[in-house]
Amino acid sequence: MSHHYQSILASIRTEVLPLQHDGAVANYIPELMTVPPERFGMHLRTVDGHDFAVGDSDEPFSIQSISKVFALALVVSLVGEKIFKRVGVEPSGSSFNSLVQLEYERGIPRNPLINAGAMVVCDVLIGQLKRPKQELLAFVRQLAQNKRIGFNERVAASEKEFGFRNIALANFLKSFGNIQHDVSDVLDLYFHMCSIEMSCRDLATAFLLFANHGTRPGSTDAVLTKSQTKRLNAVMQTCGFYDEAGEFSFTVGLPGKSGVGGGIVALHPHRYAVATWSPRLNAKGNSVMGMKALELLTTKLGSSIF
């Protein structure tokens, strides 16, 4: 199958090109608006280490909410599944930054991939790590096998300056007792986490962890158990695309995660991880070209997890 991947990616690029002016770049984080909006990249890496790519696949971009998967994986590797006593595993069914839902659920975020849930994860990391920002970044670098991955301080500062709703969410969580550390420390970690810059190649490499039973290909040291990996993939399947998770399952049929920086990464267990990047988003906050590219991928390959 793998020898067909390159020609499939090339045909996908041709088919999604007419969509390059559809959608809009995220405007509530001003720094994200500086990215050229017509960019498109796609990188697929197989579990046995073969790489296939088209377009701007080596250009780093702000991964935004994709980083929540890395933070969750690190937390589960440290404390196990007791994290799920403080955050649920149900699809949100509403906005990823909803205050109303958080009040209705009395401070227990619906899942760890919405903003409030990721803040609880950050709170746990602060309690577990001596240097949370640096150790989270080291974890991501290790998974992606790239020591040059870093934070974009301009993006982090932009998120802090205009992050009024996220600041409200963190304080709301604190009022319910579900943030145990200083709110400003939790937000600092959260904003930096979202500002991490990676390329499609980096993301595809890092997500092989979830396609390979919780072990990085080529390594014998398990980061997660098989059971933990299965559960994290299930969370991505049902909660990874804001309130478009059902549509992604329906059209693509892979676990994955999107971010408002225009990135999407998905995986087929035991086979491959694939990342796309295109900054223009649809109304649900997901990349227009990326969503279509991944739909075409599983259609052309004739396989998903279902």
pLDDT at residue 109, as a whole number: 93
Residue 75 and residue 86 in contact, taking contact as beta carbons nearer than 8 Å: no
pLDDT at residue 262, as a whole number: 96
Q: What does the chain come to in residues?
A: 306
Nearest to 186 by CA among 86, 89, 305, 261: 86
- How far apart (Å, rounded) are the C-alpha atoms in residues 224 and 208? 12
Extended strands (E) in the chain: 41-46, 51-55, 61-62, 150-151, 196-198, 256-258, 263-268, 272-277
CATH class of 2-301: alpha beta
Per residue of the chain (306 residues), give pLDDT as tens. Answer: 556 899 999 999 999 999 999 999 988 888 888 888 999 999 999 999 999 999 999 999 999 999 999 999 999 999 999 999 999 998 876 666 677 777 877 889 999 999 999 999 999 999 999 999 999 999 999 999 999 999 999 999 998 998 899 999 999 999 999 999 999 999 999 999 999 999 999 999 999 999 999 998 888 889 999 999 999 999 999 999 978 889 999 999 999 999 999 999 999 999 999 999 999 999 999 999 999 999 999 999 998 888
- How far apart (Å, rounded) are the C-alpha atoms in residues 273 and 260? 20
- How far apart (Å, rounded) are the C-alpha atoms in residues 215 and 144? 13
Cα angle 224-272-79, degrees, rounded to a multiple of 5: 15
Q: Looking at the annotation, which residues are catalytic?
A: 65, 68, 190, 242, 260
Angle, to 10 degrees, between the axis of helix 183-195 and the axis of helix 153-161?
A: 130
What residues contact 31, with CB distance under 8 A and at least 6 apart?
62, 152, 154, 155, 157, 158, 159
Q: How many CA atoms lie less than 13 Å away from 274 in the CB half-sphere?
A: 32
Residue 304 and residue 294 in contact, taking contact as beta carbons nearer than 8 Å: no
Which residue bears the tokens 């990391």? Answer: 125
Domain ranges of the chain: 2-301
Nearest to 196 by CA among 74, 290, 292, 86: 74
